[in-house]
C-alpha cells in the first residue's frame, strides 16, 4: 500500500473497505448535494497571505475549546452509525482523540453506547450529542446517562427535526443491521475484513436506544421508534429546559443564521456550532464557512463560535480560525480514517491535520494558533470570495 500522506488517501481506502450502504451514508448529502459540495469548495476560494523572514522556530497549535485544553482547535464531530464504518468505531475514535488531546463527541445515534465508550476510555471526559425526542423522558434519561458517564459538555443538534431527502440512503435501503438484499449480500461478501470485525463485536445496534427507550427491545421496534421520535416541535424552550436539567457546558449545533445564533445564546448556549449538518439536511443552503463571518459578527465574544462542514485538511482548519472560529469539528475526515484503518486511521487523520495546520500557519508568519486572525488571509473581506 502506498504511503498515506493526506485525508484523500484514507478516503480512497475507506471506499474499498467499507460496505457501500455505510460508505454512501457518510459520503453523500441531500437532494442534489450542492450544499455538501459547497462545504468543501468554499474553503478553496480563500487564499492565504504568505509571509517570509519571520522567526517560526517555536510554534504551537495548542488552544482551548470550552475551557478545555486541546492539542489543536479541532474536535471529533458527533456522527451516527460510526460503529458501522468499523467495528466498535465510536470506542476506537474516542481512544484516538484521547491520546491526541482533542475532544470526542458521541452521537445519540451511535452504535456503541455512552457507557461502553466511557468504560473503554477509562471515564476520560468526552462530549455527548443529544437529539430532542418526542419522548422527553428518554431525552431526560440520556442527559442523566451523560452525567453519569462524566461527559464534560452536552451538544444539542437543532437541525434534524425532519430528515433531508438523501437519495443514496433511500436507494440503498439504509438500515442497521443492513437489509439482507442480494445487492447488500454481494457487496458485503467482498468486504471480508469488515465482516470479520463485525463478527468479533457485540456492538451492532444503536446502543443508546435499544433497551433504553420505552418498548424498544428488538430490531423491529427500534426501527419504528427511530422513524417516529424526531420532534418537529423542537423549540428554544426545549434548549432552555436541557440547559437547566444538564447544568453544565451546553453547545448548540446547527446554527446557520445570525438571528438563530442570538436565540441560542438567550436559551443558554455556552458555544454554538455553525453547521448545515454536512449538507445532509437543507440542500441549497450556503456552506458553513460562508455563514460563519456574519454569525461571528452578530454574537461577538458572547459565546464561543465553532464550525463544521467540509474540513478535509489542516489548511481548512486554519482558514476557519482566521475567520474567527474558536474551534472546528471533523466528521467525514475522521470516518474515512476509521473505515480505512480503524483507530490507527483516526490517529493518522489527526496527525495529518495538525501537521498541515502547523506548516500552513508557519508559512503565514505565525507561531501561535491563538494569534491567528483575518490578517493571514489575502483578502480580509471574505465576502468577495464566498458570495
Q: What are the helix and strand counts (H, E) for the chain? A: 16, 10
**Is residue 329 classed as helix, strand or coil in its secondary structure?**
strand
**Domain assignment present for 77:** yes
Ramachandran class of 278: left when φ > 0, alpha when ψ lies in -120 to 50, beta otherwise: left
**Domain assignment present for 211:** yes
Q: 254 labelled as ligand-binding? A: no
Q: What is the pLDDT along the chain (387 residues), one digit of tens a residue?
A: 579 999 999 999 999 999 999 999 999 999 999 999 999 999 999 999 999 999 999 999 999 999 999 999 999 999 999 999 999 999 999 999 999 999 999 999 999 999 999 999 886 789 999 999 999 999 999 999 999 999 999 999 999 988 899 999 888 888 877 878 888 899 999 999 999 999 999 999 999 999 999 888 776 677 678 778 888 999 999 999 999 999 999 999 999 999 999 999 999 999 999 999 999 999 999 999 999 999 999 999 999 999 999 999 999 999 999 999 999 999 999 999 999 999 999 999 999 999 999 999 999 999 999 999 999 999 767 666 676
Give the model's pLDDT for residue 234.
Answer: 95
Give the model's pLDDT for residue 281.
Answer: 96
- Which position has the grid cell 491563538? 370
**Domain assignment present for 262:** yes
Domain that includes residue 254, residue range? 7-386
CB-based burial label for 23 (10 Å; 0-12, 13-18, 19+): buried
**Is residue 135 classed as helix, strand or coil in its secondary structure?**
coil
Give the model's pLDDT for residue 123.
Answer: 66
Q: 280 labelled as ligand-binding? A: yes
**Domain assignment present for 205:** yes
**Domain assignment present for 1:** no
Q: 79 labelled as ligand-binding? A: yes
Give the model's pLDDT for residue 387.
Answer: 63
- Cα–Cα distances in Å, from 259 out to 35, 63, 263, 298, 299? 21, 28, 6, 8, 9
Q: 226 labelled as ligand-binding? A: no
User: Please, what is the angle between helix 236-246 and helix 136-148, to 10°?
Assistant: 40
The alpha-helical segments, DSSP class H, found in the chain are 7-17, 20-26, 34-45, 89-100, 114-120, 136-148, 167-172, 182-189, 192-199, 219-229, 236-246, 258-266, 288-299, 314-322, 332-363, 383-386
* CATH at 381: 3.20.20.70
Active site residues per annotation: 277
- Cα 85 → chain centroid: 14
**Domain assignment present for 145:** yes
Question: Rounded to the nearest 5°, which phi and psi values hold at 327?
Answer: -160, 165
Structurally, how many domains does the chain consist of?
1
**Domain assignment present for 2:** no
**Domain assignment present for 371:** yes
Q: 277 labelled as ligand-binding? A: yes
Whole-model pTM: value is 0.95
Amino acid at each position: 500500500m502506498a504511503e498515506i500522506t493526506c485525508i484523500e488517501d484514507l478516503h480512497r481506502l475507506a471506499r474499498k473497505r467499507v460496505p457501500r450502504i455505510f460508505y454512501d451514508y457518510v459520503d453523500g448529502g441531500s437532494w442534489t448535494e450542492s450544499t455538501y459540495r459547497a462545504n468543501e469548495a468554499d474553503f478553496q476560494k480563500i487564499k492565504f497571505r504568505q509571509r517570509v523572514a519571520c522567526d517560526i522556530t517555536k510554534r504551537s497549535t495548542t488552544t482551548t475549546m470550552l475551557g478545555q485544553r486541546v492539542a489543536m482547535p479541532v474536535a471529533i464531530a458527533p456522527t451516527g452509525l460510526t460503529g458501522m464504518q468499523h467495528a466498535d468505531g465510536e470506542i476506537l475514535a474516542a481512544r484516538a482523540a484521547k491520546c491526541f488531546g482533542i475532544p470526542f463527541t458521541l452521537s445519540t445515534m451511535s452504535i456503541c453506547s455512552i457507557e461502553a465508550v466511557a468504560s473503554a476510555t477509562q471515564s476520560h471526559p468526552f462530549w455527548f450529542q443529544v437529539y430532542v425526542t418526542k419522548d422527553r423522558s428518554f431525552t431526560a434519561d440520556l442527559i442523566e446517562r451523560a452525567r453519569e458517564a462524566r461527559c464534560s459538555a452536552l451538544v444539542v443538534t437543532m437541525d434534524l427535526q425532519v430528515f433531508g431527502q438523501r437519495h443514496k440512503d433511500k436507494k440503498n435501503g439504509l438500515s442497521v443491521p443492513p437489509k439482507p438484499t442480494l445487492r447488500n449480500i454481494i457487496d458485503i461478501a467482498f468486504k471480508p475484513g469488515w465482516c470479520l470485525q463485525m463478527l468479533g463485536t457485540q456492538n451492532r445496534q444503536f446502543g443508546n436506544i435499544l433497551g433504553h427507550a420505552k418498548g424498544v427491545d428488538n430490531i423491529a421496534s427500534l426501527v419504528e421508534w427511530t422513524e417516529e421520535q424526531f420532534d418537529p416541535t423542537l423549540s428554544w424552550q426545549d434548549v432552555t429546559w436541557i440547559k437547566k436539567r444538564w447544568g453544565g457546558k451546553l453547545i448548540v449545533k446547527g446554527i446557520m443564521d445570525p438571528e438563530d445564533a442570538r436565540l441560542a445564546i438567550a436559551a443558554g448556549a455556552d458555544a454554538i456550532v455553525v453547521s448545515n449538518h454536512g449538507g445532509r439536511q437543507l440542500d441549497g443552503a450556503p456552506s458553513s464557512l460562508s455563514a460563519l463571518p456574519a454569525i461571528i459578527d452578530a454574537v461577538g465574544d458572547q459565546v464561543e463560535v465553532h464550525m463544521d462542514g467540509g474540513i478535509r485538511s489542516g489548511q481548512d482548519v486554519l482558514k476557519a480560525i482566521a475567520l474567527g472560529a474558536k474551534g472546528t469539528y471533523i466528521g467525514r475526515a475522521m470516518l474515512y480514517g476509521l473505515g480505512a484503518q480503524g483507530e490507527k486511521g483516526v490517529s493518522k487523520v489527526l496527525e495529518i491535520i495538525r501537521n498541515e495546520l502547523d506548516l500552513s500557519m508557519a508559512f503565514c508568519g505565525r507561531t501561535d494558533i491563538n494569534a491567528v486572525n483575518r490578517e493571514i488571509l489575502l483578502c480580509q473581506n471574505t465576502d468577495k470570495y464566498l458570495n
